[in-house]
Amino acid sequence: MAEAVQIYEGAVDRGLEGVVACTTAISSIQDANLCYRGYVIDDLAEHSTFEETTFLLWNDRLPKASELQQFKKDLAAEFSLHADYIQILKKIPTQNVHPMAWLRTAVSLMGHWDADANDNSPQANARKAIRLVAKMGTVVCAFEAIRHGKEPVSPQADKSIAWNFMYMLKGGLEPKADFVKVFDTCLILHADHELNCSAFATRVTTSSLSDLHSAMVSALGALKGPLHGGANEQVMLMLRKIGTMDKAQQFVKDALSAKEKVMGIGHRVYKNGDPRAAILRKISEKLTAQMGEPHWYQISTLIDDTMYKEKGLMPNVDFYSATVYYSMGIPIDIYTPIFAVSRVAGWIAHAMEQYANNRIYRPRGKWTGKTGLRWAPVEKR
């Protein structure tokens, strides 16, 4: 007997808001706190590193000293890009192309140089996971070099992912130690965030038992959108458009009157504030002052305070990350690719969890179209 299928006839939840789609033990949002595997984000941001946090997300525990040393060694062994792959990257158009579109193509191509690309065994996926996290920052920095007609800088095997990113991005110049620490903190803060849009895209693709590279491409496509990862880029463009403190409050009032969205403000889940934004706000205040441009922080806080006063809305992680990146001299249009450098760790954790307990996603749609129509010859229509 065919299995009976029940179609939900109640109200449709637009955007699946509040709908539980799966079980997960990777990260959670509870009582206004973000936790990775049970560890509060504030604790990890202050004490951990991106490498250690990635190990935690993948293994459900913090590593022992020897394990962390080996994990970092495994990552370092995969930092570099194959010479033939770099030559292909140079042929991907960079002009009038969004960096996320370029990165999406580059990650898809990465699979062609991976001997494990079509092997979905746990062992092969573990090897691919290491390569993807290790190479993502190298690829983003390669884009920055290539679009300016320069040769990509080779990463240093004895340095961290955060250090290498700042080093390669600046063309091989020694990065400031405080910038490396800030960037590493940013990578931790962005590493995962429960069942967000790109994590869900990862799980949907993974649920078909497609390969890990395909799942990452799906995630990158979702992250590219301005309502997800692209918001941090839009925040900085907004701040530069405002320009000065005397224009900030009027900008917000005009936006509210026109019922326009203020980028980086509000969150679907956090109603009492995003804990990551609170951490980044402190970093933004320090960095903007250090760089002699405190007005970016001041404009941000004025927008922040006005939006809370007028609408009860608070900033999300994208809001203050914009001024943090800007203060470190990072080009605005690679803010979202940086998001991917971090979030690939979380995407992989979701893919692994999905592979381990899989059922293909197949939701239903509530029909709102016409019914009972009959075909008629073209001359009678």
Length of the chain: 381
Annotated active-site residue in 116, 184, 192, 318: 318
Cα separation, 23 vs 43, in Å, equals 24
Task: Provide the 10 A C-beta neighbour count for residue 83.
Answer: 7
Query: Cα 256 vs. chain centroid, distance in angstroms?
Result: 28
Q: Which two tokens stand for residue 358?
A: 């899989």
Task: Provide the 10 A C-beta neighbour count for residue 301.
Answer: 16
Cα separation, 110 vs 132, in Å, equals 9
Concerning whether 267 is annotated as a catalytic residue, the answer is yes
Annotated active-site residue in 267, 274, 304, 350: 267
Regarding beta strands 27-30 and 39-40, do their DSSP bridges make them parallel or antiparallel, or are they unpaired? unpaired
Instruction: Classify the phi-psi angles of 266: left when phi > 0, otherwise alpha if psi is within -120 to 50, otherwise beta.
Output: left
Task: Measure the CA angle with vertex 225, ends 222 and 229; round to 5°.
Answer: 80
Cα separation, 211 vs 232, in Å, equals 29
Concerning whether 119 is annotated as a catalytic residue, the answer is no
Cα separation, 118 vs 337, in Å, equals 25
Regarding beta strands 33-36 and 27-30, do their DSSP bridges make them parallel or antiparallel, or are they unpaired? antiparallel
Residues noted as catalytic: 267, 318
